[in-house]
Amino acid sequence: MIPTRQLVLALAVCSITGNLAAQPAKSTRNPLDGLDRYITATMPDWGVPGVAIAIVKDDRVVYSRGFGVRRLGDTARVTPETMFAIGSISKSFTAASVGILVDEGKVAWNDPVIRRMPSFAMSTPEATASTSIEDLLSHRTGLAGENVVFWGSDVPRAEVVRRIRFLPLANPARTTFDYQNLAFVAAGEVVAAVTGTSWDDVVERRIFRPLGMTRSTTRVSELGNFRNVATSHAPRNGKLAPIPFLNLDNAAPAGSIVSSVNDMARYVRMQLGRGKLEGTRVLSDSTIRQLHTGRTIVPLGSALGPAFPDAHFIEYGLGWFLQDYHGYQLVTHGGQTDGQHANLLLAPELGLGVVVLTNTLQFGYPIAITLRVLDSYLGRAARDWSKEMRVRLAAFNESPPPLSAEIAGRSAKIAASTLVGRYRDDYLGDAVVSQEGQQLSLAMLGRTATLTHWRDEQYAVHWDDPLLLGSIPTATFESAGNGASLRIGRWVMRPQP
């Protein structure tokens, strides 16, 4: 899952590339030589408590290891069976679940969504009629990235999808890459509508069980049934600290799966095996080819240029990023939730797959490990990808200064008492502003926050749940008294009686 403000970084997380100037080195050494040492040496540089990695080569798991601890302050070690959040790698499972229905003739990739889920609606009749299942799975709906309605909220999954109709189109459909979590939630609801059961049940019955993925779940709410689960970590008061596991069950098809590297290695083998693992077929060869075929061009220009100076192309297929690397096609995806980060790479022509799971949100580290492995199997000269990635992503990892520090002590122009009341927006739902003494509080989407005056009619939003820091940084009261409105991000919430 990817917060909107980190969209450009998300492309770096979900794709893999680099400066391609280094020349291949001829070597007969084992590609795995030194990998243990490299991971152990670089973990402290990133402040990563725990890492798990699995490598598949020619349909065999040739490496499966855990490093570090599951939780800071505890001694329990990470193992290949330790479960981590895989975040947006879950999108590939959603595409696969649709692929199962395609194989059975129950849907077609280009079916209009409303043909299979009549309740679906976009902001215009034309978009409602034309948006296809394929559009949902390839980030080309024309909807801009928007996470606030589900990220840590109490809005049910079906209601999350219903509210898509209140999102205006940012671009014409099928013209622009717009990374969109809500579209994948909708795709999961299409699976539910066609099968008469939940997306979760389809993934568990039709993917997890046939592949023997016994250490995987789509439901964070069921993690209490498992042992050996990695704790999430994030900076708190200047230090890395354990934080609660983020529950994204209401947006599960976009990013809720929790799994181990041993389980994910079986998924990798199925993908590289053209839909089959150990004689069990999950997807047809033709469907795997469709999943791994580009649909939407990811621009290399603008902000992506410095990050990918030598990449020839980046595309998005159905639940997967695609690109070239020294003459080979890569099929990749990254994933993040609050406090965990993952990366998965397939190099089909090499018969190679790599999955790296970590229990803190350090964007570049799983990519650095993946690239180190890939270069080793290509026989390329060793590069310190960890160091290069830290330099490349340093600007993204810097936290902005607190809003309240910009203008300290400026008196509010509007009496706080006139701001108290209920506000509403069709997309965000209801918000309630209340006051106790001089302190204003905000409640919305099942979340609570205190409001601290920043400047003019603008207030900084301090969420009581630290997981939500930055999800809605400011709230602006655009006028006072009767007829006041509350601006949350780009949404204007109207006062209610």
* CATH assignment at residue 409: 2.40.128.600
pLDDT at 410: 52
What does the pLDDT look like over 362-415, one tens digit per residue? 878 999 999 999 999 999 988 899 998 888 776 554 544 454 444 444 555 667
Quote the tokens at residue 164.
Answer: 């898509």
Q: Which of 335, 362, 397 is the last residue of a domain?
A: 397
Exposure on the CB side of residue 142, measured as CA atoms within 13 A: 19
Q: Closest Cα partner for 429 from 447, 416, 409?
A: 447
pLDDT band at 196 (very low <50, low <70, confident <90, very high): very high
Assigned domain for 370 exists: yes
User: Within this chain, do residues 413 and 491 fall inside the same structural domain, yes or no?
Assistant: yes
pLDDT at 20: 33
Q: Closest Cα partner for 215 from 199, 203, 227?
A: 227
Out of 172-181, 205-214, 457-466, the most confident range is 205-214
User: Within this chain, do residues 343 and 427 fall inside the same structural domain, yes or no?
Assistant: no
User: Within this chain, do residues 338 and 436 fall inside the same structural domain, yes or no?
Assistant: no
Quote the tokens at residue 171.
Answer: 């671009």
User: Within this chain, do residues 385 and 490 fall inside the same structural domain, yes or no?
Assistant: no
pLDDT at 148: 86
Q: Which of 397, 418, 445 is the last residue of a domain?
A: 397
What does the pLDDT look like over 296-324, one tens digit per residue? 999 876 444 444 556 688 999 999 999 99
Residue 273 has pLDDT above 90, yes or no: yes
Of 202-206, 277-281, 313-317, 360-364, minimum mean pLDDT range = 360-364
User: Within this chain, do residues 371 and 483 fall inside the same structural domain, yes or no?
Assistant: no
| Angle formed at CA 79 by CA 73 and CA 80, multiple of 5 degrees | 145
User: Within this chain, do residues 280 and 216 fall inside the same structural domain, yes or no?
Assistant: yes
pLDDT band at 461 (very low <50, low <70, confident <90, very high): confident
Assigned domain for 321 exists: yes
Mean predicted confidence (pLDDT) in 345-358:
98
pLDDT at 302: 46
Residue 7 has pLDDT above 60, yes or no: no
Residue 122 has pLDDT above 70, yes or no: yes
Supply the mean pLDDT for the chain: 87
Which CATH number belongs to the domain containing residue 197 in this structure? 3.40.710.10
Identify the domain containing residue 417 by its residue range: 403-496
**363 vs 438: which has the higher pLDDT:** 438
Instruction: Provide the domain count of the chain.
Output: 2
Q: Can you point out the beta strands (E) in 317-456?
A: 321-325, 328-337, 340-347, 352-358, 421-425, 429-436, 439-444, 447-455
Q: What is the pTM of this model?
A: 0.91
User: Within this chain, do residues 368 and 439 fall inside the same structural domain, yes or no?
Assistant: no
pLDDT band at 27 (very low <50, low <70, confident <90, very high): low
User: Within this chain, do residues 335 and 205 fall inside the same structural domain, yes or no?
Assistant: yes
